[in-house]
Chains A and B, each alone.
Chain A
Amino acid sequence: MPSKGKKVFNTTGKKNMITVDPSLPAFENEPFFLKKAEKVKTILKTVGLPKMIGDKK
């Protein structure tokens, strides 16, 4: 995994939170993740989402 980009620390409040590596790809079209997501989407089409997501809107 390449790590040539400058690392940046983002903070929320007082906590150093995440190290951002701009050189890291987003893997948007990576088949592994797409396949997993499609499998879950298929199940959710049948069972719907848990009620909690609607409760907070």
Chain B
Amino acid sequence: MFGIGKYQYRTDKTYMVFTFESKGPHGVIQKIARFTKIGNNVYNFGFGDFDLITGNISDTVTSNNGDIEIIMGTLGSIVYDFTTLFMDALIIVQGTNTARTRLYQMNINKHWARINSLYDVSGLRNGKWEPFLKIVNYEMIAGKRKSTNDVTKES
């Protein structure tokens, strides 16, 4: 999706969990994302590093594996696939801190034309939701697939 690089990923049989491997100078790092249902058709999108030895998941470590563009492309593709299966899902995204949320937003900005054609996107600012604007920093971002989208055109 969006014509950018991405890692191959896999999902569990509930389609709520997605994993892939980040590959770079610091080796192979297992990444895991999960859509956790928090309301009627509302899902929180969580993402972190999965430690295969301890079983712990963390989003506070900065892995610096030199592949952030590919990771972001992969996450975008995961959200796209999930919302193709669950068209009415509202996806909530919030980073573990302001910088992480900003990182997500920067990638939305970068691919805004494509994202805006597929999703209705809102940002939370000062306790209020508003239509997403590229120039504004948000505390939280929410997106929902536009109902008119023809998924079979995606490749």
Binding site for B on A (CB under 8 A): 1, 3, 7, 12-15, 17-22, 24-28, 30, 32-34, 36-37, 39-41, 43-44, 46-53, 55-56
Contact = CB atoms under 8 A, between A and B. Distances in A.
A52 B34 contact: no
**Dominant SS among interface residues on chain B:** strand
B90 A52 contact: yes
Contacts of B129: 47-51
Contacts of B30: 1
B11 A21 contact: yes
Given A15-B152, A15-B154, A27-B17, A37 B36 contact: yes
Contacts of A18: 10-11, 15, 81, 85
12 contacts: A1-B32, A15-B155, A25-B12, A26-B17, A27-B17, A28-B16, A36-B46, A37-B46, A40-B38, A44-B39, A47-B124, A50-B124
Interface string B56-98: 1111000000000000000000000100110010101010000
A17 to B, nearest CB: 6
B10 A3 contact: yes
A24 B124 contact: no
Contacts of B140: 40, 43
Given A12-B151, A40-B94, A49-B42, 10 more contacts: A12-B84, A15-B154, A17-B81, A18-B85, A26-B13, A32-B46, A33-B44, A41-B38, A49-B142, A56-B147
A7 B16 CA distance: 16
Contacts of A3: 10
